[in-house]
A and B are shown apart, each in its own frame.
Chain A
Amino acid sequence: MDILIYGIINSATLALMAMGFTLVYGVSRLPNFAHGALYVLAGYICWLLLNELGIPYILAVFIALAFVAAVGGAMYQFILVRIRGMAISEIIASYAIGLAILEGLRWGGLKGGTFTLAPFVEGSIEILGVSVDWQRLLVVGLGTVLVGLLWIFVNQTRLGLALKGMAQDERAALTLGIDSDRMAVASMALGSLSAAVAALIILPLGSIVVEAGYHVLIMAVAVCIVGGLGSWTGALLAAFVIGFAQILTVAYLGAHFQVVVALLAIIATLILRPSGIFGRQKELEERV
């Protein structure tokens, strides 16, 4: 039972971590390698607002979310727009921005394990004999709600449909008057917002550390590659595959092997099905 419960929690955590990355790639074909840095930035901004300015928690959360969304949008507007369409350059540039943010935070004093956020809900409950704290259940609950909201946004709203149109056929979308750059800014802001939401839900479980940025990026990339780049359904499925594989590894093989699960999943996917479980990049498979 503990494997089932903590498997679901771990999978939901991974899904939350990867959602923003999938969203940005799905709608604007932009691999945002600053995703992990934006995750840590959100936590740190919230911590600063709470501890240095004494702002109420809920307000600090919303300001941090807005700030990180703005940073994401600005990243595209001022930097990535110049290299739009050049995938390798986009990866290098976004990764460089991520490095600058993370190492800048470290340089600025984000060191050690004392930067923490309080859980939204304290305490724990027993589910079928397994002890689970409320914050972890919140990760599952809010993760589900967030995925639902983003799905509704992309499929039911005007802006969401425009983003989807861009992802499906940029030229056709342009002929219908959809501004591709504005849409890319919107998708980056939205993806960054998702990273920030994930951070503010997950980080109260631990500490705000620079290394989390690299960890989140690796996990997001693993989930997206296994699920199929840009596929929401694939990413969700991959989060569950990797999430449960990690928990089973910890339970039966040893905790120190869990770190290789995601990397093995990437390698296996690239060998067996390069476009991922639900990937639409048929050309990749045709080449194999």
Chain B
Amino acid sequence: MKKNALLLLVAAAFLVGMSMTGLAAPAQAAEPIVLGAPLSTAFLYGWDAERAMALAVEEINAAGGVKVGKTKRPLKLEVIDTRDLEPGVPVSDALMAVEKLILEKKADFIVGGPVRSEAALAAMALLSKHKKISILTTGALTPKYHAVVGKNPDKFKYLFRISGEAKWMVLGELVPCLMDIGKQFKLDKLYIMVQDVAHARAGGGILQKVMSKKGWKVLADPVIFPTGTTDFSMALLDAKKKGAQVIIIWMDMPESAILLKQWYDMKVPALPFGTIIAAAEQPGFWKATEGKGEFCLANVVNAGNAPSNATPWTMKFVNAYKKKYGLEPEGYGTSSSYMSVYVLKDAIERAGSLDPDKVVAALKKTDLMGVYGRIRFDPKTNQIIPSLDPKEGAVGTVFQWQAGKRVVVFPPKIATGKIMLPPWMKTGK
């Protein structure tokens, strides 16, 4: 009898202890929903995404988790390094990483990458084979990705992209922004420098055609640099010689900082405009270049990757990121990676299940006001619907480095400042 009473006492104490430490809380006791994130973690577009997703997971878990039917379940982030942004690493390595997340880590959903466009395209068949919902959030800007989904909507119905893509960035943002610059400063001579990767080559080519039709003089075919290039002097001299007034830079390698240092040292009288320029996106860029990157324009794909007031959630996210990591959101994959977790939570809760087909149906009906505007997916291509107005769709951000700060200059609806030219540059005509 005494023994039974003692056992009961121990059991009661254990239960009380469990409830006091929170271990018995439903969200924590339930099996976690595993988010597998294939990311090139040594590079900006990998680690920024990892940090942003970790922040979202932390916030959601702190608020009780994700409601699946009647159960609250926590999220668990499993990150794997795909190394796909590193020069010389084959695409097959990224595919193996994705497969490992699915088979070994038992990921319920894939978010993040693969980051390199070539690897993301190659992973499409694999993800479909495993019926795994994937939301691309960082890197992979190639328009081919959602075009492939659009052509085979049944086969690739599990694949979504919540970040911008090269075609919209060029036609919807870059071209209007360049036209504004041309009008404001009377500039019309363009020189294009791109990295030897799919999205950059495609984007450079589109831009060359479009700007020529718009009356700009594109001074040469896009100059293509291999990943890891450390010297850009010959191309900069060529740009200077040909009288370039705006230099478009499309590079996701950290060495793009060298290009801007050389541009400054040579005092090339042309405005550097990074459609994608990994080095200049980071808040630490100013210190790293001792201010040599001032006046560089950079597109960070989605609002929230630099401070602005695009939506009420934008600065809330920027401040939360800053509080957790000690610096502002860093690269173009940050706000979209953060939002992907919230969008997935929203879809799972509406679907009331983790069943891929039910969650796909819910994702297709997504309509929420996020960090970078209204978030909806194109019903045919599963690509996020872009806009220049945050009330209508996902807005981008072009900022310019001015006196050590990233000042948003485009789109006008969210701009916090005006574009400036470097002092050694004269306006044209």
A and B: interacting chains? yes
B255 within 8 A of A: yes
The interface-forming segment of A55-63, A116-124, A171-179, A224-232 is A116-124
* Closest Cβ–Cβ distance, residue B267 to chain A (whole Å): 7
B256 within 8 A of A: yes
What are the residues of chain B within 8 A of A114 when measuring CB–CB? 257, 279, 282, 284-285, 287-288
- The answer to whether B226 touches A123, judged by C-beta atoms less than 8 angstroms apart, is no
Q: Given A207-B257, A255-B225, are A6 and B234 also a contact pair (CB < 8 Å)?
A: yes
> Which one of A113, A209, A247 has the greatest number of beta carbons of chain B within 10 Å?
A113
- The answer to whether A106 touches B42, judged by C-beta atoms less than 8 angstroms apart, is yes
What are the residues of chain B within 8 A of A214 when measuring CB–CB? 88
- The answer to whether B237 touches A2, judged by C-beta atoms less than 8 angstroms apart, is yes
- The answer to whether A255 touches B223, judged by C-beta atoms less than 8 angstroms apart, is yes
* Tally of B interface residues using CB under 8 Å: 40
B224 within 8 A of A: yes
> Which one of A10, A13, A207, A254 has the greatest number of beta carbons of chain B within 10 Å?
A207
- The answer to whether A111 touches B285, judged by C-beta atoms less than 8 angstroms apart, is no
Report which of B265, B284, B285 forms a contact with A123, defined as CB distance below 8 A: B265
In residues 80-138 of chain A, which contact B (Cβ within 8 Å)? 106, 111-116, 118, 123-124, 130-131, 133, 135-136
Question: A106 CA to B43 CA in the complex, in Å?
Answer: 10
- The answer to whether B282 touches A112, judged by C-beta atoms less than 8 angstroms apart, is yes
In residues 353-371 of chain B, which contact A (Cβ within 8 Å)? none
B196 within 8 A of A: yes
Which residue of chain A has the shortest Cβ distance to B233 in the bound complex? A6
Report which of A118, A131, A205 forms a contact with B267, defined as CB distance below 8 A: A131
- In this complex, the interface size class of chain A, counting residues with CB under 8 Å from chain B, is 35 or more
Question: A106 CA to B41 CA in the complex, in Å?
Answer: 10
What are the residues of chain B within 8 A of A10 when measuring CB–CB? 231
Report which of A106, A131, A212, A254 forms a contact with B230, defined as CB distance below 8 A: A212
What are the residues of chain A within 8 A of B256 when measuring CB–CB? 113
Question: A211 CA to B228 CA in the complex, in Å?
Answer: 7
Q: Given A2-B237, A111-B42, A114-B287, are A215 and B258 also a contact pair (CB < 8 Å)?
A: no
In residues 151-205 of chain B, which contact A (Cβ within 8 Å)? 196
> Which one of B47, B224, B261, B290 has the greatest number of beta carbons of chain A within 10 Å?
B261
What are the residues of chain B within 8 A of A112 when measuring CB–CB? 43-44, 47, 254, 278-279, 282, 284
- A113-B44, A209-B255, A214-B88 known, 17 other contacts, Cβ within 8 Å: A10-B231, A111-B43, A112-B44, A112-B47, A113-B255, A113-B279, A113-B282, A114-B285, A130-B237, A131-B265, A133-B262, A205-B258, A207-B279, A215-B228, A255-B235, A259-B226, A259-B228
Write the residues of chain B forming the contact surface with A, with a CB cutoff of 8 angstroms.
Answer: 42-44, 47, 86-88, 196, 223-226, 228-231, 233-235, 237, 240, 254-258, 261-262, 265-267, 278-279, 282, 284-285, 287-290
Closest 4 A-B residue pairs measured CB to CB? A113-B254, A133-B265, A206-B258, A114-B284
Write the residues of chain A forming the contact surface with B, with a CB cutoff of 8 angstroms.
Answer: 2-3, 6, 9-10, 13, 106, 111-116, 118, 123-124, 130-131, 133, 135-136, 205-207, 209-212, 214-215, 247, 250-251, 254-256, 258-259
